[in-house]
Chains A and B, each alone.
Chain A
């Protein structure tokens, strides 16, 4: 196990290194220079040149990359072209994205697993079709469409929830949660279908499996069979989905964050790319990459712990 984790971590580091190179050189295709983007189209070329010199963005591409990665390895994320420290931008953004993702998971995981197990126990019946097709439909609608519709209904028509996700400064815990409900609901809609579907499939498979049948033949009550064996097995694929969705939740929510004016990591990325703000872009992408790799690693570990039948696969 330790060897497996060690190897995965080492491979992860290689991936992150490749990622940093890809983002850096990839972002060179963005037109215009940093000074121009900061000063706007109507500044004189001299002013742009002066600013680029101040920011160090007139140096060669390689030297910019080396000085950035040198700082990164020492824990110094450098400064954004807007003058802010990168950690001051990326840190809070990451926390915000994490808070939103956490709230969404707290709502959707129990709901979707319950829905999926329920559908599996009623396989083929109307309630099953309703949950399956309903979940699928909810999942299919792009997240920003949900965002717009939820704002329309809850913020403007009924007026019970705020239309934006950014709580006022100094707001208490519950106020902050209140502001996050609508964006979290969008994610709930998007994720419900996936998780319920996996939970349903896992449950059906587990119900068909020999050990469930044996348990029933042994005379264990149906309910206890479902809870002990089936639920544990239906959790497996669910964990897999949750882990792979972390990449989408942390860093992929640009549209929702835009609509709700929530300064999460997705918006930080989007803005940095548009501004050609290389220090922020690079750090944000790497941090999203780290979150993604750690999440998939944790999911794999959880997978193998919960399911002893699977060994560490062919790679190890």
Chain B
């Protein structure tokens, strides 16, 4: 390491807080790697250039350098077409909750912060951000010269109005579940045209993720936005609405008021498909250039298609198998452990997902999260131990139990593999597969197969931080606690984890949570699947996120 680099790092250390200095120590000590350092540093508001300087000054030589895939740059002009599953409802930034809808939002809309595939945060509408000592107040600097697609200027007032609208219980936004206990209406304030301050309900070490593209409803809208987004598609992004035909698709032209570099292609198009299989055929039949997201279950055909280039990246998306802790036979944790030990994760990952996934260890802590402790032993199939546990619990003869799931992706397949896996111990699963709406029902306890079933298999999308899933799916008051798990120790650990600002403390709580969940086993989380993007070989420059957003402004034919 050159003394020059060391000097630069020392001067940065003098300017940043204790939390940031602690992070630099972790990197120096080798307890986190370069990527984890950049991820965490970006959340805390350190600029990417600063992080680069520190990495250059501290990183150990053994950290492998990741080189971007070699693709030719696209030629300017033409049109770029992407295929998505049709939005499930009217496209309203406040309301949408499905992948199709959020992909449409992100074409013209932009976020304060962009969360990339590696969970590194990049400034977009915000140029920088800082926090107070405990992470309960966050201040964002807003970019100058940003205009909406209709030509009006955007300022901090619009940003504040956007977040106060989303946090308003009366408006009923889809973000309310994310903002619960984090941000209340009226607590976002424009201090001046270039500064916005968030006063949080409780300290939150990952707050920038919550206002980033991970919170897909949070595109910046004009302060006087009154609904009916579908008629304007107003936003601040590189594209501007040309034509929208419900159920068919959207066409875009370059936004003449865009603050950033103009889009490579002249026009772009989102084409809607009723279901994934049709979209896969659309890509193979050259009706679209890019398929921002496909699953192994729906798009296995693309994996072997020589005309298609697949980009894959890790995500925190998973399938949850819940075991109701308040219902026989799962009141006994040994029975739950046995179920988890019987699951053949290797078969699931290699067979169902064609190896396109990371192994799960029965907690929402995905390997991609920097706070996840990877040294916690991975649970593996162990039939003998499972049988031992069952007989200790007085269930050596096995039992019969119903399983509910929805007819999406590989969920029915997963149910069938699990059914076959547990049969060796005499456990018989009776599967009921229903459509998504039926499975979720009213999504309230008592009238929802999802939340009421003894065993249920549910799809959880990618999240930039595990806060919401840790809290909502497993705490005593969690609204999505399908396992009906009640554990005061766990509740306290999650509260501490969410409040923790520095990575070291986050990891300390993460380890305890991971170990507690392995012992209690309210959930089986067998894998975190990769996010797959398909594109024709003659296309380059598309960038999709694990949320399902796609940026085609830098894409085109080569």
Tell me the A residues contacting B by CB distance below 8 Å.
30-33, 36-51, 81-84, 88-89, 151, 155-156, 162-164, 166, 168-169, 257-261, 263, 267, 271, 274-276
- Is the CB–CB distance between B177 and A261 below 8 Å? no
In angstroms, how far is the closest chain B Cβ from the Cβ of A212?
51
Complex alpha-carbon distance, A46 and B166, angstroms: 13
For the complex, give the distance between the alpha carbons of A274 and B434 in Å: 11
Chain B interface residues toward A at CB < 8 A: 88-90, 92, 95, 97-98, 169-174, 176-177, 180, 228, 230, 243, 245-249, 251, 273-275, 277-279, 281-282, 284-285, 287, 435-438, 440-444, 447-448, 450, 472, 479-480
With A43-B174, A51-B95 as contacts: A263 and B248 at CB distance below 8 Å = yes
Nearest to B406 among chain A residues (CB) is A41
Cβ–Cβ contact A263 & B247, under 8 A: yes
Most chain A CB inside 10 Å of its own CB: which residue of B282, B437, B480: B437
Contact status B90-A83, CB under 8 Å: yes
Given the known interface contacts A82-B90, A163-B282, A169-B248, the answer about A37 and B437 at a Cβ–Cβ threshold of 8 Å is yes
Chain B interface mostly: loop
Residues of A within 8 A of B441 (CB): 31-32, 36
| Given A38-B89, A39-B174, A162 and B169 contact (CB-CB distance below 8 Å) | no
Query: Are A275 and B437 touching (Cβ within 8 A)?
Result: yes
Known A31-B438, A42-B97: A151·B281 in contact at CB below 8 Å: yes
Neighbouring B residues of A37 by C-beta, 8 Å: 88-89, 437
> Once the chains bind, are A156 and B284 in contact (CB under 8 Å)?
yes
Chain B residues positioned under 8 Å from A32 (CB to CB) = 437-438, 440-443, 447-448
Other than the given A37-B437, A50-B169, A274-B436, 5 more pairs (CB < 8 A) read A30-B438, A32-B438, A81-B89, A83-B230, A151-B281
Chain B residues within 8 Å of A263, by CB? 247-248, 274
Which of B88, B230, B277 is within 8 Å of A38, CB to CB? Answer: B88
Complex partner residue of B97 from A30, A43, A151, CB under 8 angstroms: A43
Q: Is the CB of A166 within 8 A of B97?
A: no
Contact A259–B277 (Cβ < 8 Å): yes
The answer to whether B278 touches A40 (Cβ under 8 A) is no
A139 to B285, CA, bound (A): 27
A-B contact pairs, 8 of them (CB 8 A): A33-B442, A38-B89, A39-B89, A43-B97, A44-B177, A50-B171, A164-B287, A169-B248
Given contacts A41-B450, A263-B274, is CB(A51)–CB(B172) below 8 Å?
yes
A291: shortest Cβ distance to chain B, in Å? Answer: 20
Nearest B residue to A164 by beta-carbon distance? B282
**Alpha-carbon distance A175/B284, docked complex (angstroms):** 19
Nearest A residue to B171 via CB reads A50
Among all A-B residue pairs, the 7 with the closest Cβ atoms: A50-B172, A40-B97, A83-B90, A47-B172, A261-B278, A163-B285, A41-B440
Contact A84 B97 (CB under 8 A): no
Q: Is the CB of B284 within 8 A of A163?
A: yes
Nearest-neighbor residue (CB-CB) of B251 within chain A = A169
Let me know if B246 and A84 touch, CB within 8 A: yes
Q: Is the CB of A49 within 8 A of B88?
A: no
Chain B residues closer than 8 Å to A31, beta-carbon distance: 437-438, 441-442, 447
Q: How far is the CA of A259 from the CA of B435 in the complex (A)?
A: 17
B281 interface neighbour in A46, A49, A88, A155, Cβ under 8 Å: A155
